[in-house]
Structure formats: C-alpha cells, structure tokens
C-alpha cells in the first residue's frame, strides 16, 4: 500500500462501524452505495481508462441480477455458485456484445452499446415465462446465512472491497497502462504493434463481469429484479456517478455514487424534482470542475503543496 492509500484504512473502519449506528436507514443507504460504487468503477474501466463511452452498461448489471435470481429460484443452485455464475454470464454477454461494439469508434460505439442494451431490456420485458416480464421477478430468496440487512451489508462490503482491489490491480498492471495508452491515442498505439481491438474487448469483458456481480448483489438486496435494471436511465445514472466523482481517478466513481445516492435520498424526501436538481449539479460541475469532485480536490491539494 502506497502512502497515498493510507486514507483508505479509516474509511474502511468507518464502513465497518455503520451497522453499529443502530439505524436501518444508514445500513440500507451504505449497502446501496457500495453496490453502485462497484457498478460505477466497473464502468470507469471502459470510460476513464480505455476511453470508451458506454451508454448501455446497465445491460450487464441487469443480466447479473436476473442470472443470480433465476439460478437460485428456478434451478435451486446455492447462492455462492449462482453469484459467481452471474458474473460469468455478464462476462459472456460483454464478450458477445463487445465483439461487435469495439469494431466501431466514438459516438458509433456509444450508440451501439445503447442499441444492444435496449435489445436485452426488450427481451427481459417481453419474456414473461422466464423473467416475469414487466412485473419483474419477485421473491428472490435471501441466503439463510445472510438473512439480515446487517449480515448482508458486511457481505457486500467484503465483496466490493475484494472486487475493487482486483480492479485496481488490473488498472495498475501493464495491461492497465496499455488501456491508458489506447485512451490517449488509439492510432499511435496500433502503430507500435498493439492489437487495440483485442485489449478493448478484454476490458469490455472484465467490466461486464464486475457489473454483473454488482447487479447480483442488488437483486438479492432488493429481493426482486425488474426490467428497469436494464433500461437506459440506469446506464445514464451510473455514467453520471462516474463523471460526477471523477473518471480519471480510481476512487472518483465511488465518491460519485455516494454523492448521487445520498443526495437523491435526501432531496426526494422534500421534492419530486430530483432529476432537475441532478442535471443542474452536473452542468455546474462540468463547466467549473471538469475533473469531477475528486479531480477538483486533487488539483487543490497539488496547489497547496506547491505553495508550501
């Protein structure tokens, strides 16, 4: 662990103490934040590190949720196996979709990801015999050893910490440096003999795997899965979290997820105009703080150090 990472220890300790507050609201909110933090970081592997803008990332989130729920409920497969299988289903879907998407670039890539996401959503919405259609898949069983919100919170915390650790190892590896090189200039990267499309596809698969794990966690947490998990607003929301927190920082999407979910819970209790307020916040941030919240804080810290 580097010197810059020591701040993670008190944050982890605070997260471990959340259930001791005695508030079910904070346990619920913290679980929600952890799940969407993993979802946002998985998206940022494409957006911030590879330079690929995906408008359909909710597809893998929803596939993971449905896969885990269906395997547990209809196939009677135990939760640990179903959970890992959900991630593999997400990775498989990312492999198939990514195979076509990485052949295009820029806005065409983004629109194709949205198109595939809508196809997956339509399948879940219409396939009543398997997914329950528009009524969703209700009654997802809670594992017996995770039969309380507190236990499930600690399980989610452990899974998210392990997943973030793995993703960070990936982005700090030579593979991650190649992704960053592709982001900066894909044409020059291809000129030096690197198969850009292959590395983009691998990043797509890894991102889909962890997004599906986040979806599986969310489906079990809510005891139900709905087609809305796959719909384009879910992709837009996680994209906003990533940009808001700072897509050029590893922990930026985590901060973005925490800020968006906390503000949504607070503001929706007073007014129904949450989307309007979120849009205003995002517009101000993009104009004045294009690096996101974490990027702004890092710049201020750098300036302070320079002045000293």
Q: Residue 306: pLDDT band by 50, 70, 90 thresholds?
A: low
137 DSSP β-pair partners: 225
pLDDT score, position 81: 92
33 pLDDT higher than 90 = yes
More confident of the two residues 202 and 232: 202
**Is the pTM for the entire model greater than 0.75?**
yes
- Domains of the chain with CATH codes: 20-307 (1.10.3470)
| Average pLDDT score over residue span 152-170 | 93
Residue 211 and residue 48 in contact, taking contact as beta carbons nearer than 8 Å = no
71 pLDDT higher than 80 = yes
pLDDT score, position 159: 94
| Average pLDDT score over residue span 205-209 | 95
Residues 73, 283: Cα–Cα separation, whole Å? 43
The Cβ of residue 129 has, within 10 Å, a number of other Cβ atoms equal to 6
pLDDT score, position 307: 65
More confident of the two residues 122 and 273: 122
2 pLDDT higher than 60 = no
Q: Residue 11: pLDDT band by 50, 70, 90 thresholds?
A: confident
Side-chain-facing half-sphere of 291: CA atoms under 13 Å: 11
CA distances from 253 to 13, 44, 76 (A): 20, 7, 35
44 pLDDT higher than 70 = yes
- pLDDT, tens digit, for every residue of 271-287? 788 888 888 888 887 78
The Cβ of residue 248 has, within 10 Å, a number of other Cβ atoms equal to 17
| Average pLDDT score over residue span 108-121 | 90
């Amino acid at each position: 662990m580097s010197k810059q990472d020591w701040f993670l220890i008190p944050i982890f300790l605070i997260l471990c103490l959340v259930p001791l507050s005695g508030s079910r609201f904070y346990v619920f909110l913290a679980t929600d934040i952890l799940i969407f933090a993993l979802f946002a970081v998985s998206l940022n592997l494409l957006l911030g590190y590879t330079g690929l803008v995906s408008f359909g990332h909710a597809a893998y989130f929803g596939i993971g949720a449905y896969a885990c729920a269906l395997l547990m409920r209809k196939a009677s497969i135990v939760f640990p196996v179903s959970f890992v299988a959900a991630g593999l289903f997400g990775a498989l879907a990312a492999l198939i979709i990514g195979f076509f998407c990485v052949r295009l670039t820029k806005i065409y890539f983004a629109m194709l990801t949205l198109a595939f996401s809508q196809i997956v959503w339509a399948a879940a919405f219409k396939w009543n015999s398997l997914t329950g259609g528009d009524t969703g898949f209700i009654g997802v069983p809670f594992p017996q050893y995770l039969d309380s919100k507190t236990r499930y919170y600690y399980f989610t915390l452990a899974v998210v910490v392990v997943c973030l650790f793995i993703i960070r190892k990936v982005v700090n590896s030579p593979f991650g440096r190649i992704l960053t090189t592709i982001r900066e200039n894909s044409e020059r990267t291809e000129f030096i003999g690197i198969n850009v499309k292959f590395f983009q596809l691998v990043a797509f698969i890894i991102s889909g795997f962890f997004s599906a794990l986040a979806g599986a966690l969310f489906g079990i947490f809510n005891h139900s899965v709905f087609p809305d998990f796959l719909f384009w607003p879910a992709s837009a929301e996680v994209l906003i979290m990533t940009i808001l927190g700072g897509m050029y920082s590893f922990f930026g999407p985590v901060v973005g997820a925490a800020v968006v979910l906390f503000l949504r819970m607070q503001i929706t209790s007073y007014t129904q105009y949450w989307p309007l307020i979120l849009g205003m916040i995002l517009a101000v941030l993009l104009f004045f703080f294009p690096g996101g919240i974490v990027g702004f804080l890092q710049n201020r810290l750098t300036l302070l150090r320079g002045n000293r």
